A and B are shown apart, each in its own frame.
Chain A
Amino acid sequence: MTANHNIDAGRWVAAILALALLIFAAPASAELHIDITRGVVEPIPIAVTNFYGAGGTEAQMGQNIAKVVSADLERSGLFKPIDPAAFIQNPAALQALPRFADWRLLHTQGLVTGAVTREGDGRLRVEFRLWDVVVEQQLAGLTLFASPETWRRIAHKVADAVYKRITGEEGYFDTRIVYIAETGAATARIKRLAIMDQDGENHQFLTNDRTLVLTPRFSPTNQEITYLSYYGGKPRVFLFNIESGRQEVVGDFPGMTFAPRFSPDGNTVIMSFSTGSNSNIHALNLRTRGVTQITNGPSIDTSPSYSPDGKRIVFESDRGGTQQLYIMNADGSGLQRISFGQGRYGGPVWSPRGDLIAFTRLSGGKFAIGVIRPDGTGERTLVESHHAEGPTWAPNGRVLMFFRETASADGKGRVARLYSVNLSGGNERRVPTPVDGSDPAWSPLIP
């Protein structure tokens, strides 16, 4: 049983409908399930077979798709793909029905099968099924239509469907990362905006090497990025439209604007304005360009981040003497400090689920990435490092990305790299980038 979706060849942004339309077989099969809320998870063995293709190009595409699905699932740390060399049924034979008893001999629990055909209009039709080989049932199925060059997105959608069916959580594979690509000497670093798929593929530089840019963040609703640019020698918050490539300053204000982040509805950018020697948090309405000042004091208030319902803001402030995390209502009322541990706390980011806030902590000369509940309880360290900074959440709130700086091999410079880590603190993985990378920001699921 499959549900049909369509990727319009011309407009990938308007691509596939929600995976919620998936039609699942028997939800009763309890054997194949991962509870990812537990700390340490034993990865589930899964066999991802090459998708069947009748012709050479379709078969090649089917093989490529299977590879990407397998790599996505493996990188999550929740699945252990079985070596295809052990597979005992070929893609063509699998089109009938899997020989479950044989697959069980490989000690796999999940089995992914699929087929690729080319439609008359040149589009690909990709069908996929997820099987539970223990209870011999189909768990999920999906048919996607797409132009051939979007095959990676199809694969990510398939991986998302598998992830969702088995964990009960939304996937995060059909997403992108915007980050700062770094080159050049440490004392005169060249920093550019760059974007790539969550697995590092389809990498593109978005800005040139003449302007220092920092701290990009994705819009939750549009193909838009907000970031800090030193364009014209003035540090100010800009918007970058991913579809048109247009860059636009959000407004011309007397001082510097920095540390931007979108509101959950995408209509507001919240950021710091320098006001004399202080920095205070302001909200800028993107439609009216009206500005509302939210904090007002003789301190550095920065790195604001809205709660997913838009009603509260977490930010950092040195008003108490050192950098600490504070929460307030969106209008600035009801201020409360939430961090009380050892050291300085900065760069808070509210999880898309609302349950946790990620931060960067500095104590004892070391950096750490941690999470804390909005009420200040449950603080937990995920990563400790000489220099780790800048967490960003996957849209499902179960995985984070951050960057780490280390001394270069010759000791004369710095190496900056992106990493992902599960919320448990486990499964840390390097995210490949063609040059050094910092300040990652995870996109929402691509619509």
Chain B
Amino acid sequence: MYVKLLSLFAAVVLVAACETAPSDTGAATGIGRTGLTTGNNGIGTSTGSVRPGSQDDLASLGGQGTGDRVFFQYDRADLTPEGRATLDRQAGWLRQYGQVTVTIEGHTDERGTREYNIGLGNSRATAVRNYLTALGIDANRVAVISYGKERPAVLGDSDQTWSQNRRGVTLVN
């Protein structure tokens, strides 16, 4: 019976949620939308063929293709001077491409409990959003999401990898 009941799950699991979210792919899992797409962390930034207004175009604003992201200190959600400089460039870009909307993903390194890191990722993403809107970008163009420590950009247990994972990534929707 218990077994029978459980076998029912397979059938009904797909009947997810009493809501009408348009899509359960991409952003839901975060695969391919976590800022990893600009990947290689920028080694060999593409040149020439970048489509204006695209994610690659945004990423190319910064050295090594990291123009789409800012990095944070350990357990901090306030922007660094370098981060503010990156966001200044992003704001200019967003003014240039006024039709583009973005989602700011907040990420943490692995040091920290899962739930705290979700809160910390939210604080980081919100710090990015607040900075961009303070520069005049319409708040309706900038959404936030926190992945906490669920989507590290790189794997490893060193200050170097952790510092790459503590990030706010601006993703073109």
Contacts and interface: CB of A to CB of B under 8 A. Distances in A.
A287 interface: no
B36 to A, nearest CB: 6
B21 A389 contact: no
Nearest to B17: A247
A274 B146 contact: yes
Contacts of B55: none
B49 to A, nearest CB: 26
B31 interface: yes
Interface residues of B, number: 57
A38 to B, nearest CB: 31
Contacts of B114: 214-215, 347, 389-390, 439
A259 B2 contact: no
Interface string A412-428: 11100000000000000
Interface stretch (A43-51, A85-93, A233-241): A233-241
Contact of B150 (A150, A189, A256, A322): A189
A323 B27 contact: no
Interface residues of A, number: 76
B34 interface: yes
Interface centre among B4, B30, B115 (most CB of A within 10 A): B115
A288 interface: no
B17 A243 contact: no
Interface string B111-143: 111111011101100110010000000000000
A274 B119 contact: yes
Given A245-B9, A248-B18, A249-B17, A212 B115 contact: no
Interface in B86-121: 110-116, 118-120
Contacts, number: 193
A279 B122 contact: yes
A62 interface: no
B24 A210 contact: yes
A259 to B, nearest CB: 4
Interface centre among A195, A233, A346, A407 (most CB of B within 10 A): A233
Nearest to B6: A204
A177 to B, nearest CB: 14
Contacts of B127: 277
A346 B122 CA distance: 17
B15 to A, nearest CB: 7
Interface string A388-408: 011000000000000000010
Interface in A275-313: 276-279, 300-303
A187 B9 contact: no
Contacts of A245: 8-9, 11-13, 15
A247 B24 CA distance: 14
Given A208-B14, A245-B8, A277-B123, A202 B3 contact: yes
Contacts of A190: 29
B119 A347 contact: no
Contact of A149 (B1, B23, B111, B154): B1
A347 B118 CA distance: 12
A228 B27 CA distance: 15
Contacts of B75: 318, 322, 344
B29 A11 contact: no
A9 interface: yes
The 9 closest A-B pairs by CB, nearest first: A232-B21, A233-B27, A245-B12, A346-B113, A300-B119, A277-B126, A279-B119, A259-B115, A277-B123
